[in-house]
Chains A and B, each alone.
Chain A
Amino acid sequence: GNSVTQMEGPVTLSEEAFLTINCTYTATGYPSLFWYVQYPGEGLQLLLKATKADDKGSNKGFEATYRKETTSFHLEKGSVQVSDSAVYFCALTTNTGGFKTIFGAGTRLFVKA
């Protein structure tokens, strides 16, 4: 079946540090890949997405590249800020089984000033 695996958190970084959150997936068909972010007490919102192999999604300094050969979609940011503290979810949607979106378990990021 389809699944998403994220690195376990929490991840604690100092401000301006480099961030990588690993995400790998298993899917039938050709999924679209997403990163969502959840700030404390809120719902999820889209951070970035990629809909085909080798696409790079980017937003707010975050980037992730759709790697079909390694079935990965790792999230990166060159210099994190305190305001980036949140939970980050990797997700995929495939056109099998009715376009359901499968979410990873989420990775909590703490950024210290």
Chain B
Amino acid sequence: SQTIHQWPATLVQPVGSPLSLECTVEGTSNPNLYWYRQAAGRGLQLLFYSVGIGQISSEVPQNLSASRPQDRQFILSSKKLLLSDSGFYLCAWITPGTDLYNEQFFGPGTRLTVL
């Protein structure tokens, strides 16, 4: 069966520090991968999605970047965190070609607090 892992689960970082959040998927090949941010009391904002290794699409201009060094690994990074980067970060995947009819599968999330 497929599983999706995210780490760390929680993170407290000072403003201006770097960030690296990791997401890995098991049990599937060539998934489409997504990074979302959920700010407190708000919905999900799509940050990045990837349809393959090295292929990243950015949805909104921001202080973050994403990379996909391996088929089932998706990394969210920042060189210098801002206070506004605080939030709950969710990774998700879907089997390509089923996007229209099937659901995305979400990881457990990483709660990031920037102080």
B-contacting residues of A (Cβ < 8 Å)?
32, 34, 36, 41-46, 49, 51, 89, 93-95, 98-101, 103-106
Contacts and interface: CB of A to CB of B under 8 A. Distances in A.
Interface of B: 6, 32, 36, 42-44, 46, 49, 57, 59, 90, 92, 99-101, 103-104, 106-109
A93 B106 contact: no
Contacts of A42: 108-109
Nearest to A94: B100
Contact of B103 (A43, A49, A94, A95): A49
Contacts of B100: 32, 51, 93-95, 99
8 contacts: A43-B6, A43-B108, A43-B109, A46-B103, A51-B100, A99-B32, A103-B36, A106-B44
List 8 A-B pairs, minimum CB-CB distance, nearest first.
Answer: A99-B99, A43-B106, A105-B43, A46-B103, A103-B44, A44-B106, A43-B109, A51-B101
